[in-house]
Amino acid sequence: MQGIVRSGLGKILGVALAAVLGVGVTGCSTNPATGRSQLNLLSRAHEISIGSEAQPQLVAEYGGEVRDPQLRAYVTRVGMSMVEYTEGDFRDLPWEFTLLDSDVINAFALPGGKVFVSRGLVQKMTNEAQLAAVLGHEIGHVTARHANDRISRQLILTGVVVGATVAAGQSDSDLVRVGVPVLVGTTGTGFSLSFDRNQELESDRLGMRYMTRAGYDPRGMLQLMEILRDASGERSQPEWLSTHPLPETRIRAIEQRLASGSYSRMIDAPTHSLYEERFRREFLSRLNQLADAGAFNRDVAVGEIVPIQWGGWTGECCSGCAGASCGTSHGH
């Protein structure tokens, strides 16, 4: 659920590049969420600083956030209830869940734990499990470290990492001056927040894991996909569809998972719920009340969103880290 935001490019890329130049190639490690071995050019601190730098600009692009304390607290509670069940020490990230005051239908995440969902999307929801599904999916992008995959890939492709090694004696600012145009030239238009199809499917898988660990009925993920599919027939297409596989593809994968042993046992089980009533009472009624009072933005102009495809590269580490032990495994 991402796109490219054109403005602010230099700032974001500058942070990414400075991060890489500062740390050099840190090698590979196995991600505890995905079980995949990843090439890590960005440290956790770098991911956090990239997310923190980009956050205010993205919020502004979407017309600001919904500031109502009750709605903010609700979204944060749902998100944090799943963060608790993330792997390794991901729960220690500075997680933040933002409800964007925009009619567009979208959600996305920045590295380091910044998660965003639009008002346009949540207004189509009918229960809390659907909200957990979209937030869980975005949490999955963070824990799978998909942004690190993308940026690492880009830096290797453009030779910035090699160049930084060769030019080790130069100052960071010199390297930034050389390296940024290389990066800009590669993306052509800007810093992309879109991920490839394998990464999206991986986030769906992680999202279902996190939402069910937190006690949500896994059918909420299927219902979320159906909401997005149905919205695709409307006048304005969900932005989300510009960067994601067609919901039909993902719906099939989710249906298969729901039919499998562990997930099928959670459906209508006393341990898992869709939380329809609570969603209406604590969230939707307040949202509708504020909408009726004209408290939200109208016709917000959102920055141009352009998808960039990465041809299925999923950040497998073997292509970029000679000499390291780069075995891969696949978690589900």
Catalytically active residues, by annotation:
138, 204
Least distance from Zn ion to the Cβ atom of residue 265, Å: 27
- Among candidate residues 129, 131, 182, 144, the one with its CA nearest the CA of residue 17: 182
Distances (CA, A) of 13 to 39, 46, 96, 135, 179: 19, 12, 22, 26, 10
Q: How many CA atoms lie within 13 A of 152 on its CB side?
A: 29
- Closer to Zn ion at the Cβ: 74 or 108? 108
Coil, helix or strand for 38?
strand
* Residues within window 88-127 making contact with Zn ion, judged by CB under 5 A: none
* Residues within window 194-223 making contact with Zn ion, judged by CB under 5 A: 200
> Hey, what are 200's tokens?
């999206």
Least distance from Zn ion to the Cβ atom of residue 313, Å: 16
- Among candidate residues 241, 133, 141, 155, the one with its CA nearest the CA of residue 195: 141
- Among candidate residues 305, 226, 311, the one with its CA nearest the CA of residue 6: 305
Tell whether residue 133 is a contact of Zn ion (CB under 5 A): no
Q: Which residue is nearest to Zn ion (CB)?
A: 1
Least distance from Zn ion to the Cβ atom of residue 244, Å: 6
Size of the site for Zn ion (CB under 5 A): 2
- Closer to Zn ion at the Cβ: 34 or 273? 34
Least distance from Zn ion to the Cβ atom of residue 178, Å: 33
Alpha carbon 207 to its chain centroid, in Å, reads 11
Tell whether residue 1 is a contact of Zn ion (CB under 5 A): yes
Q: Give the x-and-dash track for 224-243 against Zn ion (CB under 5 A).
A: --------------------
Binding segment (CB under 5 A) for Zn ion, from list 1-9, 18-26, 123-131, 180-188: 1-9
Distances (CA, A) of 318 to 160, 245, 331: 18, 26, 17
Binding segment (CB under 5 A) for Zn ion, from list 67-75, 76-84, 192-200, 254-262: 192-200
- Closer to Zn ion at the Cβ: 1 or 321? 1
- Among candidate residues 230, 47, 42, the one with its CA nearest the CA of residue 130: 230
* Residues within window 57-76 making contact with Zn ion, judged by CB under 5 A: none
Judged by the rule CB under 5 A, the positions of this chain that interact with Zn ion are: 1, 200
